[in-house]
Structure 1
Amino acid sequence: MGAPKLSPDQTAILDAAVKGGHFRSQTQGQRIKCRALNAKGLLRRDPKDGDVWYPAEAVKPAAAEPVAAVPAVVAEPEADAPRRTGSVEIVSMLVTAARLFDEGDIQKARVIADGAYDLSQAEARFAAKYAATRALVPKFRQLQGDALLMETRCKMELARAYDAAQQAGSAAKKGRPKNVAGEDIFKQADAGLTRQEIHEARKLVAAEEKAPGIAERAIAARVAAGLAPTRAGLRAAIGTRSATKEERGHNLYETGAEAMHVLLALEEFSPTVLEPACGRGAISRMLEAAGYSVVLSDLVDYGTADANGELQAVIDFRETKPGEGECHDIVTNPPYGEALNSFIAHALRVHRPRKMALLLNSNAYFGFEDPDRTYIMETCPPARRYAFSRRLPMMHRDGWDGEKASSQMNTEWFVWERQPDGSYGNTTVCKRVYWPDFMPVAAESEAAE
Structure 2
Amino acid sequence: MNAPAILPANMAELPEVIERARCLFDQGDVQQALKLSSIAYDEAKAAARTGERVKASRAMIEKARRMQADALKIETICTIAMADAVDEAQAKGALLRGRPDKEKVQDADHFSLNDVGIDKRRLHEARQLRDAARADPGFVERIVETRIAEGLEPSRAALKKAAGHAIGTKTASDEERGLDLYETPVEAMHTLLALESFGLAVLEPSVGKGAILRPLEAAGYEVAIADFEDRGITTQYGEVQAVGDFLASVRAGDGFDIVTNPPYGIANAYIAHALREHQPRKMAMLLNLNFLAGFEDPDRCFAMDECPPSRIYVFTRRLPMMHRDGREGNKASSQMNTAWFIWERNEDGSYGGGFPQMIRVDWAKFQQAEPLAPGAGGCISPLVFAEPEEDFSRKTPRKTLDERVSEELARALIFAAEREEGFDTVTLRRGIGVRDSVAVALIEDMAAGELIARLDDAQWRITDKGLTALAATAAVLAGRKISHIVELEGE
TM-score bracket, normalised by the shorter chain, equals: 0.5 to 0.7
Displacement, 1:437?
1.0
Displacement, 1:407?
1.4
Task: Tell me what 2:346 maps to.
Answer: 419
Task: Tell me what 2:313 maps to.
Answer: 386
Change (3 A) 1:277 1:39: same
**Alignment partner of 1:335 out of 254, 263, 274:** 263
Displacement, 1:425?
2.7
Indicate yes or no: 2:211 matched with 1:282: yes
Displacement, 1:308?
1.5
The 8 Å contact of residues 259 and 285 in structure 2, kept in 1 or not, is answered as yes
Indicate yes or no: 2:294 matched with 1:367: yes
Task: Tell me what 2:323 maps to.
Answer: 396
Cα deviations across residues 348-369 of structure 1 (Å, max 9, x unaligned)? 1121111100001112122222
Change (3 A) 1:39 1:236: farther
The 8 Å contact of residues 327 and 351 in structure 1, kept in 2 or not, is answered as no
Displacement, 1:285?
0.5
| Secondary structure of 1:282 counterpart | coil
Cα deviations across residues 91-149 of structure 1 (Å, max 9, x unaligned)? 9xxxxxxxxxxxxxxxxxxxxxxxxx8x98544555899xxxx9xx99xx69x949x95
Change (3 A) 1:206 1:381: same
Indicate yes or no: 2:291 matched with 1:312: no
Indicate yes or no: 2:202 matched with 1:273: yes
- With a CA cutoff of 8 Å and minimum separation of 6, indicate the structure with the bigger relative contact order: 2
The 8 Å contact of residues 278 and 332 in structure 1, kept in 2 or not, is answered as yes
Which aligned pairs between 1:205-220 and structure 2 lie closer than 5 A? 206-207=131-132
The 8 Å contact of residues 322 and 351 in structure 1, kept in 2 or not, is answered as yes
The 8 Å contact of residues 378 and 426 in structure 1, kept in 2 or not, is answered as no
TM-score w.r.t. the length of structure 1 is: 0.52
Q: Which amino acid aligns with 2:225?
A: L
Measured in 2, the distance between the counterparts of 1:367 and 1:262 equals: 27
| Secondary structure of 2:212 counterpart | helix
Measured in 1, the distance between the counterparts of 2:163 and 2:184 equals: 28
Q: CA RMSD in A?
A: 4.8
The 8 Å contact of residues 389 and 434 in structure 1, kept in 2 or not, is answered as yes
Measured in 2, the distance between the counterparts of 1:242 and 1:364 equals: 18
State percent identity of aligned pairs.
48
Which aligned pairs between 1:78-157 and structure 2 lie closer than 5 A? 122-125=42-45, 145=75, 149=79
Cα deviations across residues 324-362 of structure 1 (Å, max 9, x unaligned)? 3x231110001121x222221121112111110000111
Measured in 2, the distance between the counterparts of 1:46 and 1:267 equals: 55
Measured in 2, the distance between the counterparts of 1:383 and 1:37 equals: 55
Indicate yes or no: 2:387 matched with 1:408: no
Indicate yes or no: 2:223 matched with 1:294: yes
> What are the ranges of 5 or more consecutive residues in structure 1 without an aligned counterpart?
1-33, 54-90, 92-116, 154-191, 193-197, 220-227, 442-449
Indicate yes or no: 2:230 matched with 1:230: no
> What are the ranges of 5 or more consecutive residues in structure 2 without an aligned counterpart?
8-23, 51-63, 84-120, 145-153, 370-491
Q: Which amino acid aligns with 2:335?
A: Q
Indicate yes or no: 2:360 matched with 1:440: no
Displacement, 1:314?
0.3
Cα deviations across residues 36-60 of structure 1 (Å, max 9, x unaligned)? 465699xxx897443799xxxxxxx
Which aligned pairs between 1:257-272 and structure 2 lie closer than 5 A? 257-272=186-201
Q: Which amino acid aligns with 2:237?
A: N
Indicate yes or no: 2:234 matched with 1:255: no
